[in-house]
Structure 1
Amino acid sequence: MSLLDRQVISKAIYYLTKHPELNKVAINLSAQGFSDERLLPLIQEKLHQYNVDPCRIIFELTESAGLSNITATQSMVAKLSALGCEFSIDDFGTGFSTFNYLKQLPAHSVKIDGSFIIDLATNPVDLALVKAIYEVATALGKKTVAEFVENEETLQLLATIGVTYAQGYHFGKPKPVEELFK
């Protein structure tokens, strides 16, 4: 996994140079990546090599992976933040999550798992959970991102709640970065 993390980071930072119209890129890391002491020097090297502003990078880690070694995760997040990179807790609300986890990691944002978003318009329990996640994240000064937004009705509900960002097929399907700005 460490080799894969290294390749993904290198490519993502390169893409930011090749495509300056990209404002930010989010990079999912493995749990091993957050405890790999060689990762930070690689990130620093690539940022310098490609002259990329670190604030254009968001590192994402799933909540369950982050909890597997909270001390290493906290240390890596602090180092990435010191560089100027952002950190996001991905897939929040799944697994063995707790709101206390949001307090323990200095994440800039929380990605609300798509399993709560997909039926948001028809499931009052999902709606209540998304509102709760939003409220707690906001109280802690974190932005929120909703995954799996697939229609305008869901987008409007999220806007009403106050969720900061949304992603999903409603906006477009995944495609190569070269095709984004054609």
Structure 2
Amino acid sequence: MNTEIPQDLPSYFHAHPEHFEFRSSPMKKVYLVLAVVFLILVIFPDWLPLPTWLVRTLGVVGVLYAAVKAYLDGHLYDKQTNSKIVQVAHKKFNSAYTTEETLLASLANDDFATLAQTPSLNNQPLQMYIFENVEGKTFYLLLMKYFSPSDFRGISPVKIVSGAAYEQNKELIRSINGF
């Protein structure tokens, strides 16, 4: 098991560029061109035979939509398997039913049943994030904690579940989900 405790899972992936890479899709360029077209309509609304306020409103909405889509476009990939890694679960553990030590021990000992059965509740400090590489048959699990409103970080090393352990526990790990 990796002993490095990252800030969060995306930070872990970015810290290991030899294994992971972020790829944007070809649609990113299309969204950027659309954003420019809508921006031109905001600046020059008289080009369309519609009321100026309508053209500008549509232009602003179009710029915002296209810019956000372009910014969010892209996915994380595993270089070895050339497959996408996506977040599959997020659980906020109910602090009344568990402790940090119990969750850390369950994660370290591959006790995924305890993690799945522990009740969840919204707005809790202990949270589990799970990413999966379906084609590469690998899970990445990280237990995180809120120490303050501005300090939310990992408290465990990233647990990587692959191979026979992946096949044996995949449904159980996917069931670790909550608010």
Of structures 1 and 2, the larger Rg is shown by 2
More strand by share: 2
Instruction: Name the TM-score, length of structure 1 as normaliser.
Output: 0.22
More helix by share: 1
* Highest RCO, 1 vs 2 (Cα 8 Å, sep ≥ 6): 2
Instruction: Name the TM-score, length of structure 2 as normaliser.
Output: 0.23
